[in-house]
Homo-oligomer: A and B are copies of this chain.
Amino acid sequence: MTVNPPDIPGVVISRLPVYARALALLRAEGREVVSSQELGQELGVTPAQIRKDLSYFGRFGKQGRGYNVGLLLDQLRTILGLDREWRLALVGVGRLGQAILGYGGFSPQGFKVVRAFDSDPARIGTAIDHLIVEDVADLEESLRNDPVDIGIVAVPGDYAQEVIDTLVASGVQSILNYAPIVSRVPAGVHLKQIDPVLELQSMTYHLKRLQDQGGQDALSSGKA
Protein backbone atom coordinates (compact mmCIF):
# COMPACT_ATOMS: atom_id res chain seq x y z
CA MET A 1 0.00 0.00 0.00
CA THR A 2 1.40 3.35 -1.00
CA VAL A 3 0.88 6.42 1.14
CA ASN A 4 2.03 8.76 -1.62
CA PRO A 5 -0.99 9.27 -3.90
CA PRO A 6 -0.26 11.73 -6.68
CA ASP A 7 -2.81 14.55 -6.49
CA ILE A 8 -3.05 15.91 -2.95
CA PRO A 9 -4.00 19.60 -2.86
CA GLY A 10 -1.13 21.84 -1.75
CA VAL A 11 -3.22 23.28 1.10
CA VAL A 12 -3.66 19.78 2.52
CA ILE A 13 0.10 19.12 2.35
CA SER A 14 0.76 22.43 4.08
CA ARG A 15 -1.54 21.48 6.99
CA LEU A 16 0.16 18.12 7.67
CA PRO A 17 3.25 19.62 9.37
CA VAL A 18 0.88 21.54 11.67
CA TYR A 19 -0.83 18.30 12.65
CA ALA A 20 2.57 16.62 13.14
CA ARG A 21 3.74 19.41 15.43
CA ALA A 22 0.59 19.24 17.59
CA LEU A 23 0.90 15.44 17.79
CA ALA A 24 4.56 15.72 18.83
CA LEU A 25 3.51 18.03 21.68
CA LEU A 26 0.80 15.58 22.77
CA ARG A 27 3.26 12.70 22.69
CA ALA A 28 5.73 14.71 24.78
CA GLU A 29 2.90 15.16 27.31
CA GLY A 30 2.47 11.39 27.43
CA ARG A 31 -0.87 11.34 25.59
CA GLU A 32 -1.63 8.11 23.70
CA VAL A 33 -4.95 8.87 22.00
CA VAL A 34 -6.47 12.07 20.63
CA SER A 35 -9.80 12.71 18.93
CA SER A 36 -10.20 14.79 15.77
CA GLN A 37 -12.40 17.08 17.90
CA GLU A 38 -9.65 17.77 20.40
CA LEU A 39 -6.95 18.11 17.75
CA GLY A 40 -9.21 20.47 15.80
CA GLN A 41 -9.91 22.60 18.86
CA GLU A 42 -6.17 22.80 19.56
CA LEU A 43 -5.43 23.99 16.02
CA GLY A 44 -8.50 26.02 15.09
CA VAL A 45 -9.46 23.55 12.36
CA THR A 46 -12.75 21.65 12.14
CA PRO A 47 -12.63 17.92 13.05
CA ALA A 48 -14.14 17.16 9.61
CA GLN A 49 -11.25 19.01 7.93
CA ILE A 50 -8.69 16.94 9.85
CA ARG A 51 -10.44 13.65 9.01
CA LYS A 52 -10.70 14.65 5.33
CA ASP A 53 -7.05 15.75 5.14
CA LEU A 54 -5.83 12.49 6.67
CA SER A 55 -8.15 10.37 4.49
CA TYR A 56 -5.98 11.25 1.45
CA PHE A 57 -3.24 9.08 2.93
CA GLY A 58 -5.18 6.03 4.07
CA ARG A 59 -7.18 5.03 7.13
CA PHE A 60 -5.96 6.36 10.44
CA GLY A 61 -7.67 5.77 13.78
CA LYS A 62 -10.88 3.88 14.51
CA GLN A 63 -14.37 5.34 14.33
CA GLY A 64 -15.21 6.82 17.73
CA ARG A 65 -11.91 5.84 19.32
CA GLY A 66 -9.65 8.67 18.17
CA TYR A 67 -6.16 8.53 16.77
CA ASN A 68 -3.17 6.75 18.29
CA VAL A 69 -0.88 9.75 18.82
CA GLY A 70 2.47 8.01 18.33
CA LEU A 71 1.34 5.96 15.33
CA LEU A 72 -0.25 8.89 13.50
CA LEU A 73 2.79 11.08 14.20
CA ASP A 74 5.18 8.43 12.83
CA GLN A 75 3.05 8.00 9.72
CA LEU A 76 2.84 11.76 9.10
CA ARG A 77 6.61 12.04 9.57
CA THR A 78 7.13 9.29 6.97
CA ILE A 79 4.66 10.86 4.53
CA LEU A 80 6.31 14.27 4.86
CA GLY A 81 9.87 12.93 4.77
CA LEU A 82 10.59 14.27 8.26
CA ASP A 83 12.37 11.04 9.17
CA ARG A 84 15.50 12.01 7.26
CA GLU A 85 17.99 14.87 7.23
CA TRP A 86 17.79 17.59 4.60
CA ARG A 87 20.70 19.75 3.43
CA LEU A 88 20.12 23.48 2.99
CA ALA A 89 22.12 26.24 1.32
CA LEU A 90 21.61 29.80 2.58
CA VAL A 91 22.16 32.67 0.15
CA GLY A 92 22.62 36.02 1.92
CA VAL A 93 24.21 36.28 5.38
CA GLY A 94 23.27 39.84 6.30
CA ARG A 95 21.22 40.53 9.44
CA LEU A 96 18.36 38.33 8.22
CA GLY A 97 20.65 35.53 7.02
CA GLN A 98 22.46 35.56 10.34
CA ALA A 99 19.14 35.39 12.21
CA ILE A 100 18.26 32.37 10.03
CA LEU A 101 21.61 30.72 10.87
CA GLY A 102 21.01 31.43 14.55
CA TYR A 103 17.42 30.15 14.43
CA GLY A 104 17.20 27.15 16.75
CA GLY A 105 14.19 25.58 15.06
CA PHE A 106 15.80 24.05 11.95
CA SER A 107 18.36 21.59 13.22
CA PRO A 108 16.15 19.61 15.67
CA GLN A 109 13.73 19.06 12.77
CA GLY A 110 16.42 17.63 10.48
CA PHE A 111 17.08 20.79 8.47
CA LYS A 112 20.83 21.47 8.38
CA VAL A 113 22.17 24.63 6.79
CA VAL A 114 25.39 23.20 5.33
CA ARG A 115 26.41 26.03 2.96
CA ALA A 116 26.27 29.83 3.06
CA PHE A 117 26.82 32.34 0.26
CA ASP A 118 27.09 36.14 0.08
CA SER A 119 28.25 38.82 -2.34
CA ASP A 120 29.94 41.08 0.24
CA PRO A 121 33.75 40.71 0.02
CA ALA A 122 33.92 41.53 3.75
CA ARG A 123 31.84 38.41 4.53
CA ILE A 124 33.21 35.96 1.93
CA GLY A 125 35.70 33.56 3.51
CA THR A 126 34.68 34.38 7.09
CA ALA A 127 33.14 31.78 9.40
CA ILE A 128 29.56 32.24 10.64
CA ASP A 129 28.14 29.51 12.88
CA HIS A 130 30.76 26.96 11.70
CA LEU A 131 30.14 27.75 8.01
CA ILE A 132 32.70 29.41 5.74
CA VAL A 133 30.81 31.98 3.65
CA GLU A 134 31.29 31.30 -0.08
CA ASP A 135 31.19 33.83 -2.92
CA VAL A 136 27.68 33.93 -4.45
CA ALA A 137 29.39 34.23 -7.86
CA ASP A 138 30.38 30.56 -7.39
CA LEU A 139 26.86 29.48 -6.35
CA GLU A 140 25.96 27.39 -9.42
CA GLU A 141 29.33 25.64 -9.74
CA SER A 142 29.53 25.02 -6.01
CA LEU A 143 26.05 23.45 -5.79
CA ARG A 144 26.62 21.37 -8.93
CA ASN A 145 29.74 19.88 -7.32
CA ASP A 146 28.09 19.32 -3.93
CA PRO A 147 24.27 19.46 -4.19
CA VAL A 148 21.82 20.47 -1.48
CA ASP A 149 18.11 19.69 -1.16
CA ILE A 150 16.76 23.15 -0.39
CA GLY A 151 17.89 26.72 -1.01
CA ILE A 152 17.08 29.61 1.34
CA VAL A 153 17.08 33.08 -0.21
CA ALA A 154 17.80 35.92 2.24
CA VAL A 155 19.14 38.59 -0.13
CA PRO A 156 17.59 42.03 -0.84
CA GLY A 157 14.58 42.01 -3.17
CA ASP A 158 16.53 43.43 -6.11
CA TYR A 159 18.79 40.37 -6.26
CA ALA A 160 16.32 37.68 -5.22
CA GLN A 161 14.98 36.56 -8.62
CA GLU A 162 18.51 36.26 -9.99
CA VAL A 163 19.54 34.11 -7.01
CA ILE A 164 16.40 31.97 -7.38
CA ASP A 165 17.15 31.47 -11.10
CA THR A 166 20.71 30.42 -10.26
CA LEU A 167 19.51 27.98 -7.59
CA VAL A 168 17.12 26.41 -10.12
CA ALA A 169 19.90 26.24 -12.73
CA SER A 170 22.04 24.50 -10.08
CA GLY A 171 19.43 21.76 -9.74
CA VAL A 172 17.75 22.93 -6.51
CA GLN A 173 14.07 21.91 -6.59
CA SER A 174 12.82 23.45 -3.33
CA ILE A 175 13.37 27.08 -2.40
CA LEU A 176 12.39 29.07 0.68
CA ASN A 177 12.37 32.76 -0.22
CA TYR A 178 12.53 35.51 2.42
CA ALA A 179 12.80 38.40 -0.09
CA PRO A 180 9.65 40.49 -0.61
CA ILE A 181 9.21 39.81 -4.33
CA VAL A 182 6.70 37.99 -6.53
CA SER A 183 9.17 35.33 -7.62
CA ARG A 184 8.93 32.92 -10.52
CA VAL A 185 10.10 29.32 -10.73
CA PRO A 186 9.58 26.78 -13.51
CA ALA A 187 7.01 23.98 -13.14
CA GLY A 188 8.31 21.18 -10.91
CA VAL A 189 10.24 23.53 -8.62
CA HIS A 190 8.54 24.26 -5.29
CA LEU A 191 8.94 27.73 -3.86
CA LYS A 192 7.60 28.88 -0.51
CA GLN A 193 7.60 32.50 0.47
CA ILE A 194 8.32 33.84 3.97
CA ASP A 195 6.63 37.18 3.76
CA PRO A 196 5.69 39.05 6.92
CA VAL A 197 4.14 41.94 4.96
CA LEU A 198 1.63 39.65 3.23
CA GLU A 199 0.70 38.20 6.64
CA LEU A 200 0.30 41.70 8.10
CA GLN A 201 -1.75 42.82 5.10
CA SER A 202 -4.27 40.04 5.59
CA MET A 203 -4.60 41.01 9.26
CA THR A 204 -5.29 44.67 8.54
CA TYR A 205 -8.43 43.55 6.69
CA HIS A 206 -9.82 42.48 10.08
CA LEU A 207 -8.39 45.50 11.95
CA LYS A 208 -9.94 47.88 9.44
CA ARG A 209 -13.33 46.20 9.84
CA LEU A 210 -13.07 46.43 13.64
CA GLN A 211 -12.16 50.12 13.47
CA ASP A 212 -14.86 50.87 10.87
CA GLN A 213 -17.45 49.00 12.97
CA GLY A 214 -16.32 50.96 16.00
CA GLY A 215 -16.90 54.14 14.01
CA GLN A 216 -20.32 52.98 12.80
CA ASP A 217 -21.35 51.92 16.30
CA ALA A 218 -20.40 55.37 17.60
CA LEU A 219 -22.44 56.91 14.75
CA SER A 220 -25.47 54.67 15.46
CA SER A 221 -25.46 55.41 19.17
CA GLY A 222 -25.13 59.09 18.34
CA LYS A 223 -28.28 58.88 16.23
CA ALA A 224 -30.25 56.84 18.78
A18 CB, nearest partner CB in chain B, Å:
6
- Are A81's CB and B196's CB within 8 A? no
| Residue interface bits A158-190, CB-to-B below 8 A is 1, else 0 | 000000000000000110100010100000001
A162 CB, nearest partner CB in chain B, Å:
16
Residues from chain B with Cβ under 8 Å of A192 in the complex: 199-200, 202-203
Interface: A130 (CB within 8 A): no
Residues from chain B with Cβ under 8 Å of A203 in the complex: 150, 174, 176, 190, 192
Residues from chain B with Cβ under 8 Å of A79 in the complex: 205
- Are A17's CB and B202's CB within 8 A? yes
Complex Cα spacing A199 to B146, Å: 24
- Are A200's CB and B86's CB within 8 A? yes
- Are B103's CB and A174's CB within 8 A? no
A143 CB, nearest partner CB in chain B, Å:
15
- Are A80's CB and B197's CB within 8 A? no
Complex Cα spacing A84 to B210, Å: 14
Residues from chain B with Cβ under 8 Å of A18 in the complex: 182, 198
A113 CB, nearest partner CB in chain B, Å:
11
Interface: A82 (CB within 8 A): yes
Interface: A131 (CB within 8 A): no
Complex Cα spacing A180 to B206, Å: 24
Interface: A105 (CB within 8 A): yes
Residues from chain B with Cβ under 8 Å of A190 in the complex: 203, 206
Complex Cα spacing A196 to B196, Å: 11
- Which A residues contact B (CB, under 8 angstroms)? 4, 10-11, 13-14, 16-18, 20-22, 25, 42-43, 79-82, 84, 86, 88, 95-96, 98-100, 102-106, 109, 111, 149-150, 152, 156-157, 173-174, 176, 180, 182, 190, 192, 194, 196-212
